[in-house]
Amino acid sequence: MIHFLYFDPGLGALILQAIAAAIAGVVLFSKNLMFKIKSFLGLVKQDDDVFDDINVKDSDIESNASSDDKQ
């Protein structure tokens, strides 16, 4: 752990994260619940076509890796 040398993370910011994470947990939970209700009712809108979701998909890694090999 070398980042202690680097910059001040802010003590308040470190303490706050427990609260921020709890709020985010509630928001995510209700979002997932709403998503389930909406998909049950067939109201799910098409996803954003500019930004994808947070997860790095295996297919992203593999497809690019194999196309690199061909070069």
Partner 1 sequence: MTTNNRHSSSFRDPSGYIFQDQGVIKRAILPLYFKQYEALNASGLFQKLQSAGLLIPHEEVANSNSEIIIQPEQLSFMTYPYEWSFMQYKEAALLTLKIQKFAVEHGFSLKDASAFNVTFHKGRMLFIDTLSFDFYEEGQPWRAYKQFIMHFFGPLLLAKYTGADALKLMSTYLDGIPVDMLAAMLPFKTKLNPFLYTNIHLLAKFENKYSEDYDNTSKVRKLSKRAMLNMIEGLYDYIKKMKLENASEWGNYYDKTNYEDAAFKKKSDIINTWIKNLNVKTLIDVGGNDGTFVRKIDTTLEEALVCDIDNNAVDANYVQLRRSKETNMLPFMLDVLNPSAAIGFNNKERDAFLTRISSYAPDMTMALAVIHHMSLSGNIPFEMSAEFFASFSKHLIIEFPKRNDSWVQRLLNTKGEFKAHFDFYSISNFETAYAQYFDTIEILEIEGSERVMYLLKTKDD
**Which residues contact partner 1 by CB under 8 A?**
1-3, 5-7, 9-28, 31, 48-51, 53-56, 60-62, 64-65, 68
CA distance readout (Å), 66 to 27, 47, 56, 58: 38, 27, 16, 12
CB of 69 to partner 1, least distance (A): 10
Do 44 and 35 meet the contact criterion of CB atoms below 8 Å apart? yes
CA 31 to chain centre: 13
CB of 67 to partner 1, least distance (A): 9
Smaller CB separation from partner 1, 1 or 41: 1
CB of 37 to partner 1, least distance (A): 17
Distance CA 21, CA 30 (A): 14
Smaller CB separation from partner 1, 40 or 49: 49
